[in-house]
Structure 1
Amino acid sequence: MFRSHQADMAGIPGMFGDGLMHWHGVSRALATHWYHVSVKRRIDGRFVSSQEMLNDEPKLHELVSAQGDDLQIDYVQVVTPARLNGTATWRMERLKSVSMGFDRNDCPVCLLEVESGQIYNDYHEDGFDHGSLRQVRELYRAPV
């Protein structure tokens, strides 16, 4: 999850709209992947672009399911820690698809296919074969 310190709050709650708060900074305590989503929302008859930073697959699925005449997703990027992407640093890459399945212990596993064709997973053991997952369900696929 994202977190923030009260000192990072910009203004007072509600000054940017009912129920909204703005922050100068947020952080994450866990080194897990998250999603950076470019969206367009219809506001007062015109589309306005914004960025959503989503913590996990349920929030991504919620946003994908909400698409319609007043909300469009332009593209999704995934931000992955080094242990997921196999490099020395965090990376943000354009996402092709996200799927969820279950391992032999019925634990959920996320598969992330990025623009380069690489498929990352959030399983915590080396040598994991994503073909061994059961009940794999695609949650998001980028338009072609």
Structure 2
Amino acid sequence: MFITHKPAEIFLGAYLGDDATQYWQYVEQTTHCPWFYVKVGRRQGSEALTRMVLIPSISALEQLLNEQGADIWLLDVQLVSPAYLNGGDGWKMEKLLEMRETVDDIREAAYVYSLEGGHFYTEALGACRSDLKSPRIIFSVTPASR
């Protein structure tokens, strides 16, 4: 999850003619978990705009995926992974090709991330989830596989 602090707020809304939007110099991440940096296309009137969105969780990414339509669509998803997941010394940002929720032979649930460059990361979910019957693709750059 991301949080903001009042001292980090930048007061540009009135200057830009948008009093409903708040601007921040930085946000804080409260968990040491993977998150997503997503390039989103949005239609505003006759214009198509591109924005970058920080998504703190898989459930929030799924919500954004479900909201896709004529006015909003995903252009690119980057997985930002901590060292415990990527096997490195620190955080990494890599293009996400596919993410699925699956179970292994002993019925242990996990997320499997397929990344550009042939990397795969697996994140165990802990106790077996009884409602998870078979592998489920959550995200794929190939729309036909979703």
TM-score scaled to structure 2, two decimals? 0.80
Q: Structure 1: give runs of 5+ residues left out of the alignment.
A: 126-132
* Preserved contact between residue 111 and residue 125 of structure 2 (Cα < 8 Å): no
The secondary structure found in structure 1 opposite 2:135 is strand
1:1-144 matches, within 5 Å, as 1-11=1-11, 17=18, 19-102=20-103, 108-123=109-124, 135-143=134-142
CA RMSD of aligned residues (A): 2.8
The count of residues paired between Structure 1 and Structure 2 equals: 137
Are residues 16 and 108 of structure 1, via their aligned partners in 2, closer, same or farther at CA, if it must alter by over 3 Å?
farther
How far apart, in 2, do the equivalents of 1:16 and 1:27 lie? 27
How far apart, in 2, do the equivalents of 1:90 and 1:143 lie? 26
How far apart, in 2, do the equivalents of 1:63 and 1:142 lie? 15
Identity in percent: 25
TM-score scaled to structure 1, two decimals? 0.81
* Preserved contact between residue 99 and residue 114 of structure 2 (Cα < 8 Å): yes
The secondary structure found in structure 2 opposite 1:25 is coil
Provide, for residues 25-64 of structure 1, a one-character-per-residue CA deviation record: whole Å limited to 9, x for no partner.
0111221100000011001211010001101111111111
* Preserved contact between residue 97 and residue 141 of structure 1 (Cα < 8 Å): yes
